[in-house]
Amino acid sequence: MPEFSLPDENRYSQDDEWVRESGDGLYRIGITDYAQQQLGDVVFVELPEPGLKFQAGQAFGVIESVKAVSDLCMPVSGEIVEVNSELEDAPEVVNEDCYHGGWLIGIRIDDAAQFNGLMESKAYGEHIASRSDD
Amino acid sequence: MSETRRTPLYARHVELGARMVDFAGFAMPVQYDSIKNEHRAVRETAGLFDVSHMGQIHLSGKTALESAQRLLTCRVDTLEVGQVRYGLLCNSDGGCVDDVTVYREGPSEFMLCVNASNIEKDRDWIRDGLVPGSEIRDRSSETGLLAIQGPKSAELLDRLCHAGEEPNPSALGRFRFSAYTTQAGPVLISRTGYTGSDGFEIYLPAEVSRALFDLLLETGQADGLVPAGLGARDTLRLEAALPLYGHELDDTTSPLEAGLARFVKRKQGGFIGHEAIEAREKQGRSRQLVGFELLERGIARADYPIVSGGRQVGRVTSGAPSPSLGTSIGLGYVPPENAAPGTELAIEIRKKNVKARIVTTPFSKNS
């Protein structure tokens, strides 16, 4: 099984997204190293307008690799405050640097308890491993 | 569901870290490193593909030429020994059973290289269409096939072939083939490919595939040769506007609708489907394959509607961002009145109309 980078500073969702606190109730969200490896070359990312609100589990955008189109789903509920517009011209940054340059959206979280309910890196690592064993 | 088959190079692909996918019932590498890098390597230096999933059907017997003329839309009578040509197998309704390359190995010996997804269908169809006195043998599973594609491939291949009486592979003309002896064993090399760049395809016994694959990689690495997967193969062929069976071609599509008239002996005739093709032409074509580029952001995927004047007029057959051009391109079928280069229409992507323009193909000047 290939190695995946799983920084401890993030929390992780079942749907292979990471969430990182940036202070004042703001959080950044992206897809994990595992997810980007599974997708292969990311060629297109469609992100929402700032100001829109989404519930946890709701699709907020779309990510396309050469072979597949996938919905991006909110790991927590909140309002979009910023999107990574650099990905419009350089979607490959999601593959190259998924935890930093390849972030997708910044949100204001509705309820910080939802963040604390997400997985820590160790639990998420086990979550990936259990799936690969199938 | 039948089990996924493996090419002789399966273990090697996994070792190289390839992402494997199911393609036409075979576990194949879609990418090793990145599709973009592999694509670029083929356009600028060279890429090495395992395409052993493709099928090889050998045709022989005293009436082999007659059978080939009847089965294939292209002229086989003018094909010289050592020459290869692209052609189609058509059904009696004028639709495409498959698109193939036909190799003339001797006066009455031919080899058809067919799509992996169609091996069984082709075999049955060919057998039914044979003239008495011809026979076929399916050698797909015992034959390996590597493709080395890109401007450096001739030079790299020369290094692996013994210089004897035979000229080096670099001396082969386009669509010519010959037998060679390499360090890995005897092979058949043809100057053909499916990328739009110069390159070669190497037919060899399945058990030798791995040795030659490794030898080529080792020899070519310093010159920029990389293993390349089906992902890059698809973006390369799309830039060159080469059809992919199951996308641009199927049992209902006439080769003329697909823009392949130059591979159809319309004057000479005498092949299965000829009458139906001509009858369909006489009726007037309802659709035509075109190339388009998106004028806004997005990716046009197979089966997305093509829209003009607020209604659907056609559908996308293939689409991807073009690594060479930096734009998003695609192929699709539209009525002839919407087919002129420069025509603006839209592709419906997730219920939104994204502007597109018909362009001339091939898309890439490079290819």
List pLDDT tens digits, range A43-64: 999 999 999 999 999 999 999 9
- A-B C-beta contacts closer than 8 Å: 36
Mutate to test the interface with B, among A63, A65, A67 (most CBs of B within 10 A): A67
Q: What is the pLDDT of residue B367?
A: 47
Closest CA of chain B from A118, distance in Å: 29
Q: Which of B239, B268, B298 is the last residue of a domain?
A: B239
Strand arrangement, sheet containing B177-182 = B177-182, B185-190, B199-205, B143-149, B46-50, B225-227
Q: Which of B239, B269, B300 is the last residue of a domain?
A: B239
Determine contact, residues B248/B260, Cβ cutoff 8 Å: no
Cβ contact B353:B346 at 8 Å: yes
Same domain (yes/no): B173, B106:
no
Nearest C-alpha of chain B: how many angstroms from A112? 33
Nearest CA in chain B to A67: B231
Query: Can you tell me the mean pLDDT for A101-121?
Result: 96
Give the tens place of pLDDT for each residue, B160-214. 886 565 678 999 999 999 999 888 889 999 999 999 999 999 999 999 999 999 9
Q: Is A64 on the interface with B (CB under 8 A)?
A: yes
Q: What is the ipTM of this complex?
A: 0.82
Enumerate the residues of chain B whose CB falls inside 8 A of the CB of residue A72. Answer: none
Of B21, B235, B299, the CB nearest to A64: B299
d(CA B235, CA B196): 10
Residue B351 lies in a domain: yes
Chain A residues with CB under 8 Å of B36 CB are 41, 92
CB B182 within 8 A of CB B127: no
The answer to whether B320 contacts A43, with C-beta atoms less than 8 Å apart, is yes
- Chain B residues touching A69 at Cβ < 8 A: 301
With a CB cutoff of 8 Å and minimum separation 6, the contacts of B349 are: B298, B299, B300, B301, B304
Query: B351 Cβ partners below 8 Å, 6+ apart?
Result: none
CA distance B329 to chain A (A): 13
Which of B249, B241, B243 is CA-nearest to residue B361? Answer: B241
Residues of B with Cβ-Cβ distance to A67 under 8 angstroms: 21, 30, 231
Tell me the CB-side half-sphere exposure of residue A58, using CA atoms within 13 A. Answer: 12
Domain A11-111 coded CATH 2.40.50.1040: no
Asked if A44 is an interface residue toward chain B (Cβ–Cβ < 8 A), one would say yes
Query: A79: part of which helix (H) or strand (E)?
Result: strand A78-83
* A3 vs B: CB within 8 A: no
| Candidates B36, B301, B350; nearest CB to A41 | B36
- Residue A134 above 90 pLDDT? no
> Is the domain of B86 the same as that of B47?
no
3-class secondary-structure state, position B169: helix
The CATH code of the domain that includes B347 is 2.40.30.110
- Cβ distance of A44 and B299 shorter than 8 Å: yes
Q: What share of chain A is helix, strand, coil (3-state, %, to 5)?
A: 25, 35, 40
Question: Chain B: which residues have CB within 8 Å of chain A?
Answer: 17, 19, 21, 30-31, 34-36, 231, 234-235, 297-299, 301, 320-321, 350
Stretch (H or E) spanning A27: strand A26-31
Number of domains in chain B: 3
- Verify that B313 and B353 share a domain, yes or no: yes
Residue A42 has pLDDT above 50, yes or no: yes
A64, two tokens:
């396309």
List of chain A residues whose C-beta atoms are within 8 Å of the C-beta of residue B21? 67
Looking at beta carbons, which residues of chain A come within 8 Å of B35?
Answer: 40-41, 66
Q: In a mutagenesis test of the B interface, which of A37, A43, A46, A66 is the best target, namely the one with the most B β-carbons within 10 Å?
A: A66
- Termini Cα distance of chain B: 38
- Distance of alpha carbon B52 from alpha carbon B54, whole angstroms: 5
Distance between CA atoms of B170 and B198, rounded to whole angstroms?
10
For residue B114, tell me if it sits in a domain: yes
Q: Do both B41 and B151 map to the same domain? A: yes
Q: What is the pTM of this model?
A: 0.93
B42 and B148 assigned to the same domain: yes
What is the distance in angstroms between the CA of the first residue and the CA of the last residue of chain A?
13
Q: Where are the alpha helices (DSSP H) in B91-229?
A: 119-129, 153-160, 209-220
Range of the domain at B21: 5-52+142-239
Minimal CA separation from B34 to chain A, in Å: 6
Segment A61-75 mean pLDDT: 93
From chain A, the residues in CB contact with B34 under 8 A are 41, 92, 95
Encoded amino acid at B282, one letter: K
Beta bridge mates, B87: B100
* Domain shared by B65 and B129, yes or no: yes
Token pair 């890429």 is at which residue? B47
Residues B219 and B200 in one domain: yes
Is A68 at the interface with chain B, CB within 8 A?
A: no
CA distance B161 to A95: 39
DSSP string of B16-68, one letter each residue: TTPEEEEETTEEEEEESS-HHHHHHHHHHSEEEEE-TTSEEEEEESTTHHHHH
Asked if A41 and B19 come within 8 Å (Cβ–Cβ), the reply is no
Q: Mark B1-35 as b/e (b = at least 16 C-beta within 10 Å).
A: eeeebbbbbbebbeebebbbbebbbbbbbbbbbbb
Do B81 and B189 fall within a single domain? Answer: no
HSE of A93 in the Cβ direction (CA atoms, 13 Å)?
Answer: 16
Instruction: Indicate whether B185 and B298 sit together in one domain.
Output: no
Strand residues in chain B grouped as ranges (E): 5-6, 19-23, 26-31, 46-50, 55-60, 84-90, 96-106, 109-114, 135-138, 143-149, 177-182, 185-190, 199-205, 225-227, 288-294, 305-308, 311-321, 328-334, 344-349, 352-359
Sequence letter at residue B243: P
Residue B172, domain CATH: 3.30.1360.120
Question: Which chain B residues contact residue A37 at CB under 8 A?
Answer: 19
Q: Given CB atoms, is A69 within the 8 Å cutoff of chain B?
A: yes
- Locate the domains of chain A by residue range: 11-111
A41 CA: distance to closest CA in chain B (Å): 6
- Are B217 and B151 members of one domain? yes
Per-residue pLDDT of chain B (367 residues; tens, 9 = 90+): 467 999 999 999 999 999 999 999 999 999 998 999 999 999 999 999 999 999 999 999 999 999 999 999 999 999 999 999 999 999 999 999 999 999 999 999 999 999 999 999 999 999 999 999 999 999 999 999 999 999 999 999 998 886 565 678 999 999 999 999 888 889 999 999 999 999 999 999 999 999 999 999 999 999 999 999 999 999 999 999 999 999 999 999 999 999 999 999 999 999 999 999 999 999 999 999 999 999 999 999 999 999 999 999 999 999 999 999 999 999 999 999 999 999 999 999 999 999 999 999 999 765 4
> Does any domain span residue B280?
no
- Nearest Cβ partner of A41 from B17, B34, B301? B34
B122 and B165 housed in the same domain: no
Q: Choose one of B138, B166, B197: the last residue of a domain.
A: B138
Compute the nearest-CA separation of A94 from chain B (Å). 13
Instruction: Flag whether B9 is in a domain.
Output: yes
Residues 6+ apart with CB under 8 A from A39: A31, A63, A65, A68, A70, A95
Same domain? For B59 and B94 the reply is yes
CA atoms of B305 and B179, how far apart (whole Å): 47
Phi, psi of B317 (to 5 degrees): -105, -30
